[in-house]
Chains A and B, each alone.
Chain A
Amino acid sequence: MTVFNRVESHRKAEDAVYDKTILAGDGWIHELKPGQVLRIVDLEGNQAADTLFYDADNPEDHYSAIATIARQENIYLTAGTTLLTESGKELLTIVADTCGRHDTLGGACSAQSNTVRYAHDKLHMHNCRDTFMLQLAQSDDERYLKRDLAPNINFFMNVPVTPEGGLTFEDGVSSPGAYVEMTAHIRTIVLISNCPQLNNPCNAYNPTPVRVLIWNE
């Protein structure tokens, strides 16, 4: 039986030191200090927040899906999961999660993968990897290039894998107002693309906003 681990947070929005809504299709890049807590809220439900992390003091060291899932021997992320870099350094730990399962194998959509997955004429459509690259282009931080776009986390996405080796995109297990909350262990760069995918039924073809909140502890 599928078990979901749902853990609520005691933190209140009014105590947050940072509060911003990322509209559907927009991106966000931000640095977390050690000890700060980031909450991502799925405001309307079944949205995908495509997220990458970097060790801010060592930008060559990106979030690693493989190191993270290997440490816990489980492909899904939830409360209790520690997110690791490629070198095995601890970036953040998920401390609350009212969704219960997040995808780490599905990666980010791109113009080129849209042509492969859907049709060649989807090339022009807005996509997560363009958002990542626009955020990198517009930020003052010149340390990051396309080569640093490692496989990301899709918060709130449900991408079940079967024992027979299948992989499917299911309707979300998220709901309006569901959130995931994580504490940073080190200075961490967060890069989010709030997915604009219009070809995948799992968000009912209607991308919606997410909200990010930060507390100092």
Chain B
Amino acid sequence: MTALWRSTIAGGGKWSGTVGRGKRITFTALEDGANLSLLMYHAHDPSERYNMPDTLKAQHTSHLTTGNVLMSDNGRVLASIVQDSTGWNDPIGGYTTKEQTDRKYGVTTYQEKRNERYRNGRDNFSVELVRSGLSVRDLMPPLNLFAKVYCDENGRMHHVPGHCKKGDAVSLRTELDLLLIVSNTPNPFDKRTGYPSVPVQIEVSAAEPVSLSDDACVNHCSENRRAFENTWAYHALRG
């Protein structure tokens, strides 16, 4: 597949852009221990957005990997996870705030550290939301690629260190035109004391055509099939 575009998101960095449907977006961890937080909105109506509860309960899962899809609050598929070398991406750990980052890793300022200061998920997302005409009211639970957070039987949340290795990659296939916002900031549950953020490459190419009979995401469960049918209906009507 020929890359249409490629970029590297530095540790602490952020990016947003519109990615049309039918694209394959591959995120690659360039070092061990990556965590890339994603927010996703329908590019033509951002009030439709990635919905963590709808995604998890339709697929009876609290983690996301190959075969799973990312559903909107409107019963449609925003993107499919077509490939994932990690086996677990975290939909419940959330994003960091300035207060958490200062407390865990120490206070850093632009005045002292210039661009080496520690960025946080909330500030990164806020900037990119405002850039797209949205605001902090549109902040929602993100999907954290490359991170594993599990819950024990009493609900306590645990981050698994060493889950992501250098070279791990996750590929999404876009099913609607997306506004994608990414923040390369630590998982809030990561216990490491040094600021744990490493560069992640994003590469976009054309997706393979969807084979309805054997596509792993379409056929993962009947819930996914119906969410795709809702998505196809949207495209049929819109033309």
Contact = CB atoms under 8 A, between A and B. Distances in A.
A147 interface: yes
A3 interface: yes
A75 B57 contact: no
B12 interface: no
Given A66-B94, A70-B93, A150-B140, A116 B54 contact: yes
Interface string B30-57: 0000000000000000110101111011
B157 A75 contact: yes
B56 A167 contact: yes
Interface centre among A60, A107, A164 (most CB of B within 10 A): A107
A105 B153 contact: no
A115 interface: yes
Interface string A138-175: 00000001111111000000011111111111000000
B136 A86 contact: yes
Nearest to A62: B137
Given A62-B137, A112-B74, A145-B47, A120 B53 contact: no
Contacts of B151: 74-75, 161-163
A132 to B, nearest CB: 11
B156 interface: yes
13 contacts: A2-B153, A60-B136, A70-B189, A74-B154, A105-B62, A111-B75, A112-B75, A113-B71, A113-B73, A148-B137, A163-B150, A163-B152, A167-B62
Interface of A: 1-3, 59-62, 64-67, 69-70, 73-76, 86-88, 101, 105-108, 110-113, 115-117, 119-120, 129, 145-151, 159-169
